[in-house]
């Protein structure tokens, strides 16, 4: 055993959380090893948020081209090439990976590529070598679930779809979460005949019911065919593509199928048993408020814990760990009031409580504004913007904000600061509107649409 195999910290997984933990710890002087089995960047950068949003931008251009004539432009006929988009996307991801590598180099973080396994107390095995540290962080993220029904292994996941060089003529999306809704909407805008099959009545379980309903309506307006209450039985290949067999319903056929039935924590083959760490039924590692696992000297952050599975949350958990363990500050992450966005077309975003959650807390005033945005009204589009504000009737404090419409993620991100600061409806009322914008509607809502609780 040589001195070069001893570190203050070993981080397993170089996604957003792992990189943040390694860099922040190194900034405090910790001798840090970061281990990654594939590429630097993780799911968000390489297989999720970034390529997905780049594809969304491509899809939005189709709408811009079709709207241009109403604003006086004359354009030629355009066609979309998935092959060309993929080449540009791959070049951008290579650039981002290079930036991460440079940042880690500048921070003094030692990076090893290989599959890491816990190998007992304070020990990690990589490529046949053993490395030691008093602190180990597991940041291995999540991966697509592939076992919901027989034959599901024949379907694409978002990983394969975002690496495709050509789009199918028709696509059946299984599931109704973030990934399902986003990619169904994006591909429909790119000309694919899209249908969705899911178990619930509405997509996006966990979001506000009014928002879920309007997102479903927006998908149908795009031409996406929804098959709610679908109890999936099996997926079968045939000469025309793939067929989804359902219980007590007709089978659904498409050239290709996207498995968006969910993601699971990436905990297999980590050697958790060597240190006595057990996972729950979802495969997640249980942690306390400081991200400590049940094993001494081992922490877990990000999607592998299945708490709030969003990139900024993983980064916050990573930095809180490093600040606490190496920076001399006791920092914990507050997992409440985390803003989230769905990058469908148009996009949606939420922060705070849903109406159902607010009603459980007490009497709540519900403010709603729904309208055609100026840009859409000008071209005769029926696309509508929806905004909702939930206010505690007794304290006047704003409890939640929900929006569907252009720039919803940008607007809700800004308003999330007000929510975190404890803003009241009176604070919104005395804020001067910025005209003409869609965002001004959040400060112009005067009378509640209803009171609940």
52 annotated ligand binder: no
Residue 53 annotated in ligand binding: yes
Supply the residues annotated as catalytic.
435
180 is in an annotated binding site: yes
Cα–Cα dist 172/102, whole Å: 40
As a whole number of angstroms, the distance between CA 298 and CA 116 comes to 14
Query: Measuring CA to CA, which residue among 23, 9, 13 is closest to residue 46?
Result: 13
142 marked ligand binding residue: no
> Of 21, 222, 183, 35, whose CA–CA distance to 117 is shortest?
35
Give the burial string for 181-218 (b: 16+ CB within 10 Å, else e).
bbbbbbbbbbebbbbbbbeeebbbeebbebbbebbbeb
175 is in an annotated binding site: yes
Angle at 197 between CA 193 and CA 214, to 5 degrees: 80
**Peptide bond preceding 256: is omega within 30 degrees of 0, i.e. cis?**
no
- Residue 176 annotated as part of some ligand binding site: yes
What does the alpha-carbon distance between residue 303 and residue 140 come to, in Å, rounded to a whole number? 8
Beta bridge partner(s), residue 257: 172
Q: Does residue 41 have a known ligand-binding role?
A: no
CA atoms of 404 and 422, how far apart (whole Å): 23
Question: Could you tell me where the DSSP H helices lie in 333-407?
Answer: 355-361, 374-378
Q: Which value, in Å, is the radius of gyration of the alpha carbons in the chain?
A: 24
The answer to the question of whether 179 is labelled as a binding residue is yes
Cα 394 to chain centroid, rounded: 34
Binding-site positions for NAD(+): 175-182, 262
Binding-site positions for FAD: 53, 303
Binding-site positions: 53, 175-182, 262, 303
């Amino acid at each position: 055993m040589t001195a070069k195999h001893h570190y203050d910290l070993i981080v397993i997984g170089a996604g957003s959380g792992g990189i943040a933990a390694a860099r922040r710890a190194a900034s405090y002087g910790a001798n840090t090893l970061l281990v990654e089995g594939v590429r630097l960047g993780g799911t968000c950068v390489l297989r999720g948020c970034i390529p997905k949003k780049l594809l969304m931008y491509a899809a939005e251009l189709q709408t811009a081209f079709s709207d241009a004539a109403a604003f006086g432009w004359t354009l030629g006929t355009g066609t979309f090439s998935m092959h060309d988009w993929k080449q540009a996307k791959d070049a951008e991801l290579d650039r981002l990976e290079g930036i991460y590598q440079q940042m880690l180099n500048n921070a003094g973080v030692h990076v090893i590529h290989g599959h890491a396994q816990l190998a007992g107390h304070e020990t990690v095995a990589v490529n046949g070598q053993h490395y030691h540290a008093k602190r180990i962080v597991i940041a291995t993220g999540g991966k697509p679930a592939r076992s919901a029904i027989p034959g599901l292994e024949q379907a694409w996941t978002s990983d394969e779809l975002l690496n495709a060089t050509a789009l199918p003529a028709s696509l059946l999306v299984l599931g109704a979460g973030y990934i399902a809704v986003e990619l169904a909407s994006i591909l429909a805008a790119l000309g694919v005949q899209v249908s969705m099959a899911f178990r619930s009545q509405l997509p996006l379980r966990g979001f506000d019911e009014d928002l879920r309903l309007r997102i479903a309506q927006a998908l149908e307006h795009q031409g996406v065919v929804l098959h709610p209450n679908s109890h999936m039985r099996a997926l079968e290949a045939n000469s025309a593509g793939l067929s989804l067999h359902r219980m007590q319903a007709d089978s659904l056929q498409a050239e290709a199928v996207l498995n968006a039935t969910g993601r699971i924590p990436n905990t297999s083959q980590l050697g958790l048993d060597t240190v006595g760490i057990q996972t729950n039924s979802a495969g997640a590692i249980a942690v306390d408020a400081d991200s400590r696992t049940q094993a001494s000297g081992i922490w877990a952050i990000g999607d592998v814990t299945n708490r709030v599975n969003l990139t900024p949350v993983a980064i916050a958990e990573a930095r809180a760990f490093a600040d606490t363990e190496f920076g001399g500050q006791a920092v914990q992450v507050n997992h409440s009031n985390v803003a989230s966005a769905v990058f469908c077309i148009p996009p949606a975003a939420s922060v705070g409580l849903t109406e159902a959650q607010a009603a459980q807390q007490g009497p709540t005033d519900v403010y709603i504004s729904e309208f055609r945005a100026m840009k859409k009204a000008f071209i005769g589009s029926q696309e509508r913007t929806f905004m909702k504000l939930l206010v505690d009737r007794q304290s006047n404090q704003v409890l939640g904000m929900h929006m569907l419409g252009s720039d919803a993620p940008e607007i809700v991100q800004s308003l999330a600061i007000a929510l975190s600061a404890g803003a009241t409806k009176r604070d919104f009322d005395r804020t001067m509107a910025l005209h003409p914008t869609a965002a001004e509607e959040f400060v112009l809502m005067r009378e509640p649409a209803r009171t609940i609780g």
